[in-house]
């Protein structure tokens, strides 16, 4: 378990290190006059990320709970459900949100369909009407006009 916790704790410093490397690499052609601030930050982030990785490996830093399948289940499922919103809400917000809620709410563990269906069907339409009335340009091919 301890090993799994340390593994989870490495994710963020590794991501930070990767970001520092990518940032430095992509800006290698930028004139030095524009990088007075960014270069020290990039190097600082890279070095401190390495220090963090070392500290995690040497057990010198407090770490969070391990990313077990049980802990990951609901956040990952929600993340996958958001693909519906990302893919289709630009074409039809109410329909995409209805599909998202119909899938996400039961997957998150609430399966009283008597409550889920009204929430999933009515709320997106209300959100659409409310926000479009306020001038937010949400798309819908069947509610428009």
Partner 1 sequence: MDVLISAITPLADVWVILYMLLGLLAGVLFGAIPGLNAGIGIALMLPVTYTMDPLTSLVFLTSIYTGGVFGGAITAILINAPGSPSAVATTLDGYPMAVKGQANEALGLSLGASATGGLLGMIFLCVIIQPLAAFALKFGPAETFLLVIFALTSIASLSEGSFLKGIVAGLFGLLLGTIGFSASGSMRFTFGQTYLMDGMPIIPALIGFLALSELFSRLEEDDVELPSAGRLNFGKIVKGMLMVPRRIWAVLRSSVIGIFIGAIPGVGATVGSLISYETARRSSRTPEKFGRGEPDGIIAAESANNASEGGAMATMLALGIPGGAATAILIGALTIQGIVPGPRLVYEHQDVIFGLLAAEMLEQILLLAVGFVVAAAFLRVIYTPYAVLVPVVLAMCYIGAFSVRNAGFDAMLLIGCGALGWLMKREGYPVVAVVIGLMLGKTADAELIRIFQLYGGDFTVFFKSPICLVLILATILSLAAPIWAAYTKRRYSGPDLKGDTGA
28-47 residues in contact with partner 1 (CB under 8 A) are: 30-31, 33-38, 41-42, 44-45
Please report whether residue 100 would count as binding partner 1 according to CB under 8 A: yes
Q: Where are the beta strands (DSSP E) in the chain?
A: none
Distance of CA 19 to the CA centre of its chain: 16
Question: 89 with 95: CB under 8 angstroms?
Answer: no
Please report whether residue 110 would count as binding partner 1 according to CB under 8 A: yes
Integer Cα distance of 89 and 101 in angstroms: 12
Please report whether residue 80 would count as binding partner 1 according to CB under 8 A: no
- Shortest CB 143 distance to partner 1, Å: 15
Please report whether residue 121 would count as binding partner 1 according to CB under 8 A: no
Integer Cα distance of 119 and 82 in angstroms: 17
- Shortest CB 74 distance to partner 1, Å: 4
- Shortest CB 66 distance to partner 1, Å: 10
Please report whether residue 118 would count as binding partner 1 according to CB under 8 A: no
Please report whether residue 64 would count as binding partner 1 according to CB under 8 A: yes
Question: 13 with 53: CB under 8 angstroms?
Answer: yes
Question: 88 with 96: CB under 8 angstroms?
Answer: yes
69 — alpha (psi -120 to 50), left (phi > 0) or beta? Answer: alpha
Integer Cα distance of 143 and 97 in angstroms: 14
Please report whether residue 86 would count as binding partner 1 according to CB under 8 A: yes
Choose which of 23, 117, 129, 143 interacts with partner 1 (CB under 8 A): 23
Please report whether residue 55 would count as binding partner 1 according to CB under 8 A: yes
Choose which of 4, 18, 51, 113 interacts with partner 1 (CB under 8 A): 51
């Amino acid at each position: 378990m301890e090993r799994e916790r340390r593994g989870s704790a490495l994710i963020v410093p590794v991501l930070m290190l990767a970001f520092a490397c990518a940032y430095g690499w992509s800006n290698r052609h930028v004139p030095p006059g524009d990088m007075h601030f960014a270069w020290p930050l990039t190097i600082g982030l890279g070095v401190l990320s390495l220090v963090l990785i070392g500290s995690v490996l040497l057990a010198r830093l407090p770490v969070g709970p391990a990313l077990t399948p049980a802990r990951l289940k609901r956040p990952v499922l929600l993340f996958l459900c958001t693909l519906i919103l990302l893919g289709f809400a630009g074409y039809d917000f109410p329909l995409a949100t209805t599909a998202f809620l119909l899938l996400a709410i039961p997957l998150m563990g609430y399966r009283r369909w008597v409550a889920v269906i009204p929430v999933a069907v009515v709320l997106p339409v209300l959100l659409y009407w409310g926000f479009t009335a306020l001038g937010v340009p949400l798309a819908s091919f069947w509610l428009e006009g």
